[in-house]
Structure 1
């Protein structure tokens, strides 16, 4: 005899005993109930059978649902894929950068990330906006082009206001400094064509020269020399490098600007002499620029 059968017989015996006790209690008026209430005590096994039938029917229904037809299986699969794609699309922007989305040609994700960038300060993501303009998706290109154009317009408005204030007060060093900083930032963003950039740099050079006259600081000299190198005004570069080196003979940036000057002038011998001087005079070169000096040595 199995344990399941033993348990079943035990429960059946217990049921019979409890039924007899119930009958005895009602018959002897120990419990003040009519005799027909015995049906609740006796009929419990029938209720159990009904529960078994219902449970069996549910299992059969579930089994049928699991098997289904091919059409139903296809519909479920499509629904799952759509739901997964929707959720994945929502989470994808949290997992990849705009650059990755553009390279992977994820147009929808690129659009979402572009909108996020617009709200976070697009001027900090200009390189990505320029990359987005090369996208195959016309909407991504439109977003990026619109943002770049708006940034350029805002800079134009700021420069017009500052230029107006500066022309009204040309001797105000604060206005001159603000105007120079704005032009430097504007040129660094590459928002204009080469021709416009050239004209802007020429204007910037004149303002920087005035800045150096008013305040001959290392920062102003470096900005002036860097801008003259961009304009290929090599006589001005050589003159200002000499003046700057006299005041800051051991400054790393001055030595590196001189190295850049010799490179642009294609003076290989001068480069070799300069690198040798850097080592002999123990000029401090930061880790990020050390590889450059080692390359030329």
Structure 2
């Protein structure tokens, strides 16, 4: 009899202590009542039972997918991950690429979707492509959606500017806008090679005409040479480098592209000739380019 009373007294004390713990750890009153009824009605094993139930509930919550905070009312169950992002502050704190390595799928998804509202989504294309290989299927889905939306916007803008150019092919404003959109589409990294073939031909056709103009901008030469490198058309790349040098002998960009051509074709003789010729060109070089040149002297 005495041992029974002692057991009841000790167990009652444990229940009181457990109640105090629940008051601090659990916010919902219903959960507190449920836990207390369980441990009181099922002595000893009640503690084991509620512990197991709490564990499985936490596991289920960690795995459940809830995207409702992206639209309408946001949920704030986890303020660190679900609060509206101060984009620049968050990107400065943890880069998107680093975010992809975090354990929180919610945070990864939000960071990927947040690139849509960035000033320039193209800055994050490499990271978005990396996200396509993420283990979380929803992160992959979001990254795919962002890339496809970026592709759509680029093509829509390009076609609009192409029509404006075709309506007035002598309008420099229309020409430069079209060239910029077309080169951006080609070099931004959003499209794969299969989708770029048409744009390659458009750019070759455009620059074949533009590079003959006295007012041709440096970027026209630069982008055409880069495209020639991609296509493996080194003969045309050399011709364009020579034309670039003749028309813009003061261009540091020309110097970089010419050296790049010599390296890509492993033409050491031409490189040495250009280095000698460079001494007589009226080009002013930055320290970065000078360091590059010193590698070959």
Measured in 1, the distance between the counterparts of 2:250 and 2:174 equals: 31
Tell me, what secondary structure is at the counterpart of 1:296? coil
- Alignment CA distance shift 1:91-1:209 (3 Å): same
Give the number of the structure whose residues are more often helix, by fraction: 1
Q: Count residues in correspondence.
A: 231
What are the within-5 Å matches in structure 2 for residues 1-297 of structure 1? 68-69=17-18, 73=21, 86-90=78-82, 94=90, 95-121=93-119, 122-214=121-213, 215-275=215-275, 278=278, 284-297=284-297
Once the two structures are overlaid, the 10-residue window that deviates more, 280-289 or 210-219, is: 280-289
Measured in 2, the distance between the counterparts of 1:72 and 1:92 equals: 35
Once the two structures are overlaid, the 10-residue window that deviates more, 173-182 or 228-237, is: 228-237
Measured in 2, the distance between the counterparts of 1:74 and 1:277 equals: 82
Measured after TM superposition, the shift of residue 244 of structure 1 is 2.5
Measured after TM superposition, the shift of residue 139 of structure 1 is 0.8
Whether contact under 8 Å (2:132, 2:143) holds in the other structure is yes
Measured after TM superposition, the shift of residue 153 of structure 1 is 1.3
Measured in 2, the distance between the counterparts of 1:127 and 1:217 equals: 28
Measured in 1, the distance between the counterparts of 2:84 and 2:172 equals: 50
Measured after TM superposition, the shift of residue 96 of structure 1 is 1.8
Measured after TM superposition, the shift of residue 261 of structure 1 is 0.9
Q: Which has the larger radius of gyration?
A: 1
Measured in 1, the distance between the counterparts of 2:125 and 2:241 equals: 32
- Alignment CA distance shift 1:68-1:198 (3 Å): same
Measured in 2, the distance between the counterparts of 1:104 and 1:137 equals: 11
Measured in 2, the distance between the counterparts of 1:290 and 1:134 equals: 40
Which segments of 5 or more consecutive residues in structure 2 lack a partner in the other structure?
1-12, 28-57, 59-76
- Alignment CA distance shift 1:253-1:119 (3 Å): closer
Residue by residue over 1:75-132, the C-alpha shift from the partner in whole angstroms, topping out at 9 and shown as x without a partner, is 85687xx9xx934435797342221111234321111222322223433422222222
Tell me, what secondary structure is at the counterpart of 2:158? helix
- Alignment CA distance shift 1:92-1:277 (3 Å): farther
Residue by residue over 1:211-241, the C-alpha shift from the partner in whole angstroms, topping out at 9 and shown as x without a partner, is 2233334343333333323323222222232
Residue by residue over 1:253-288, the C-alpha shift from the partner in whole angstroms, topping out at 9 and shown as x without a partner, is 212111111112121343344446546879643233
What RMSD, in angstroms, separates the aligned Cα atoms of the two structures? 3.6
Whether contact under 8 Å (2:100, 2:131) holds in the other structure is yes
Q: If the length of structure 2 is used for normalisation, what is the TM-score?
A: 0.64
Tell me, what secondary structure is at the counterpart of 1:293? helix
Whether contact under 8 Å (1:101, 1:107) holds in the other structure is no
Measured in 2, the distance between the counterparts of 1:293 and 1:74 equals: 71
